Amino acid sequence: MRRVLVTILVVVSLQTVAANAASPQYLDQSWSDTDRQWFYTTPQGSKLIRYDWALALERASDETLFFADGLARLGYLPNAKDEKTNPDGLPVGFVRDRGLTVDHLGMTCAACHTNDLAFKGTTYRIDGGPADADLFSFLAELSESLTATSASQASPKFQRFAKRLGKNNLVSRTALYVELRKFSRDFADFVAATTSTTSWGRARADAFGAIFNRVTAIDLPPAPPSLAKNIPANNRMPNAPVSYPFLWDTSWHNKVQWDGSAPNQLAILRLARNVGEVLGVFADIKIRKPGFLHWYYESTAKRINLLEIEDRLAQLRSPHWPAAFPAIDTTKAAAGQAIYRAQCESCHKQATPGVLQDVVMTPLTDAGTDPAMATAASTRQAKTGILEGVPELILLGSKFGPTASAGKITFNAVLGAILSPIPDDWFLGAPSKAATKTALEVTSTRKGEGSENDLRNDLLSKLHQTLSKTHASSDADTNDPVKADLLQAQQSMAAAAPSTGLAYKARPLDGIWATAPYLHNGSVPNLRALLMKPALRPKTFFVGSRDFDPVNVGFDTAAGPDRFLFDTSIAGNSNAGHDWGTSLTNEDLEALLEYLRSL
């Protein structure tokens, strides 16, 4: 009965939004419909807000249910209702994450890495592309709605909220109000600490800043004898937003993230990257000082799902220029390819999907682009709290002092979550053999070791049998695959920082036509502008349209509803640098653009 009361209005609204949205045309990216929907709707352990609360919550300013438009106002994409995978018609990348007693609304990778573009009345889906969504405004609006709903127990807004949840007597409404009030205040504190004074806007987020804040300032307890639950002094304003990277081929790069700070050659490192991501989007983790009998951290991160997500993304390929777009001039594109090889290919190597590939790291001194993200990610320090004296890799490595790199503290947290012997679905039954077949392979098949690779059919038994043996020994044992992999992880982490200083990743450009705006911080609206001298690039432009501009290779940048004014004069938004290819003749410029369209 309560289920009906909670969803009777919002489900109808969400289903109407999903049904009325024109179905996109899916480009061939080597994914099946099953792969796609699995990516959109599989929980990864994100615990944003109680699920029934999310469906019952109104927007702050009126009686409209928060999810009535499927978050289209914020740039999130509709996803068709499906009784098995999406029964409430949630937007792409939003899921019901089930628990023992309480279900939560969670976010998945797809919320930030799926996009649509429109051309002449047809919408095209770009799986793995940078989302055009406004995460900053989503968090702010959700906090405002919670604050407005919990302002007074006697308010009509709270009374409507309680009624939708089936709280029909004073006792149950009072208990609900007390719980909502506490959650609202905690969420408001989180939002205040996780957002900056200037909005990130559409298609961007300071993911590193948010993750570092979450782990070091909220999840990490201080050292005894403090009775505090967290370390607010570790919080920093996340004011270095970057575009959401496109995901095709990423699984095969030796380094990921815009600054190349995440080594990616080993399964444990790829899993760590994904666990870190879900910690940044509201996964819970209990960090406690590791000891002999408790050398891990309990977390809601769903490692098996994250491994499967990574495996499916490894199959994703870049989209090709649609046949309905203006046809590629093959002669002009061939001339552009020669220019690309001369001007671009030394940094942006040809993509080799399915094969581990070393990407080029371009020193910031050469790139000349905005330094905020690379600087913040590499220089940020934090108090280590209860982790002081703990090995950086929990089982191995030098020990933390009173302060450490925020990146190393975060890696310690995600590694502790990975090592936990507690099953991901502890309360929902043991994982199936099929679900665990890709479990934490520490000698990856991507290294070409064939039959020597042990994929382990049982993550929870074989992995943790090995780990308990590893913890009891102090010396490296090359016959112990987990310990060997931890040692390799430590070496990879140490080698991740470029010896020449700060740098940005110059990744392969397959599918680059579908990923505007450009540069790591999204400060250049289209490829034509990127090939202009920096002084001639637009100083301001609007982000938020999905109308594709095939001439300039980007999106329409005019003002319009729900669009965000990008101002390159704001700190962190510089559109300077990357001046390769900016001195071409008009003829060569057009040829290079034609080749980039064809990638």
Query: How does strand 104-107 pair with strand 49-50?
Result: antiparallel
Per residue in 123-158, pLDDT tens? 999 999 999 999 999 999 999 999 999 999 999 999
pLDDT greater at residue 306 or residue 586: 586
Q: Which of 370, 412, 361 is nearest to 219 (CA)?
A: 412
| Tokens at 274, concatenated | 């994904």
Average pLDDT, whole number, for the chain? Answer: 85
468 pLDDT band, cuts 50/70/90, is very low
Per the CB < 8 A criterion, the answer to whether 142 and 187 are in contact is yes
Q: How far is Cα 102 from Cα 454, in angstroms, rounded to an integer?
A: 37
Q: What is the pLDDT of residue 447?
A: 39
Predicted local distance difference test score (pLDDT) of residue 281:
86
Taking the C-alpha atoms of residue 374 and residue 365, their distance in angstroms, rounded to an integer, is: 12
Model confidence at 366: pLDDT above 60: yes
Bridge partners (DSSP) of residue 242 are 205
Judge whether residue 113 has pLDDT over 90: yes
- β-bridge pairing 122-127 and 25-26: parallel
When pLDDT is cut at 50, 70 and 90, the band that residue 78 belongs to is very high
- Please name the residue that has the structure tokens 């329409």: 556
Residue 44 predicted with pLDDT over 90: yes
Q: Over the range 381-396, which residues count as b (16 or more CB within 10 Å of their CB) and which as e?
A: ebbbbbbbebbbbbbb
Peptide linkage before 517 cis (omega within 30 of 0): yes
If phi > 0 it is left, if psi is from -120 to 50 it is alpha, else beta; for residue 553 that is: left
State mean pLDDT over 213-242: 92
**Residue 433: C-alpha distances to residues 305, 439, 553, 577 (Å):** 13, 10, 46, 50
What does DSSP assign to residue 526?
Answer: B
Say what the pLDDT of residue 183 is.
96
Q: Is the pLDDT of residue 22 over 70?
A: no
pLDDT in tens, 152-163: 999 999 999 999
pLDDT (average), residues 413-423: 84
3-state SS, 438-455, equals CCCCCCCHHHCCHHHCCC
Tens of pLDDT, residue by residue over 479-488, are: 455 556 556 6
Q: What pLDDT does residue 484 have?
A: 60
pLDDT of residue 20 exceeding 50: no
Question: What six digits make up the tokens of 173?
Answer: 């409404």
Lowest mean pLDDT among 140-149, 284-293, 385-394, 424-433: 424-433
Label residue 440 by pLDDT band (50, 70, 90).
very low
**Where residue 18 falls among pLDDT bands split at 50, 70, 90?**
very low
pLDDT in tens, 163-172: 999 999 999 9
pLDDT at position 106? 94
Backbone angles phi, psi at 73, to 5 degrees: -60, -20
Give residue 534's region: left, alpha or beta (phi > 0; psi -120 to 50): alpha
C-alpha 598/C-alpha 48 separation (Å) is 40
Average pLDDT over residues 443-448: 36
Residues 6+ apart with CB under 8 A from 381: 403, 404, 405, 406
**Strand-pair partners of 566:** 541
Quote the longest CA-to-CA distance of the chain. 76
* Distance from C-alpha of 212 to C-alpha of 410, rounded to nearest angstrom: 7
Q: Which tokens sit at 169?
A: 């007597």
- Averaged pLDDT for residues 42-49: 93
202 neighbors 134 (Cβ within 8 angstroms)? yes
Tokens representing 204 are 């961007």
Q: Would you say residue 371 has pLDDT above 90?
A: yes
> How does DSSP assign 368-425, residue by residue?
----HHHHHHHH-EEE-GGGTTSBTTSSSSPBP-SEEEHHHHHHHHHHHHHT--S-TT
Q: Please report, for residues 93, 187, 192, 218, 279, the alpha-carbon distance to residue 214 in angstroms, rounded to integers and kept in the order given.
A: 21, 12, 12, 5, 7
pLDDT at residue 482, rounded to an integer: 52
Asked if residue 64 has pLDDT above 60, the reply is: yes
- Tokens 């940005």 locate to 504
pTM for the model: 0.86
In this structure, are residues 257 and 505 in contact, taking their beta carbons and an 8 Å threshold? yes
Q: With bands split at pLDDT 50, 70 and 90, how would you rate the model's confidence at 195?
A: confident
Please report the pLDDT score of residue 554 as a whole number. Answer: 98
Using pLDDT thresholds of 50, 70 and 90, give the confidence band for residue 194: confident
Q: Which amino acid, 263?
A: P
Q: How confident is the model at residue 545 (pLDDT cuts 50, 70, 90)?
A: very high
Say whether the peptide bond before residue 225 is cis (omega within 30 degrees of 0): yes
| Under 8 Å between Cβ of 96 and 43 | yes
> Poorest-confidence range of 7-21, 33-47, 234-248, 251-265?
7-21
pLDDT band at 337; cut points 50, 70, 90 = very high
| Model confidence band, residue 292 (pLDDT cutoffs 50, 70, 90) | confident
Residue partners of 233: CB distance under 8 A and separation at least 6: 217, 383
Helix (H) and strand (E) counts in the chain: 19, 20
The dihedrals phi and psi of 20, each to the nearest 5 degrees, come to: -80, -20
pLDDT of residue 487: 60
pLDDT at residue 452 is higher than 60:
no
Looking at the chain, the whole-number percentage of residues with pLDDT higher than 70 is 83
Weakest mean pLDDT among 180-184, 260-264, 295-299, 425-429: 425-429
What is the Cα–Cα distance from 555 to 321, expressed in whole angstroms? 15
pLDDT over 90 at 69, yes or no = yes
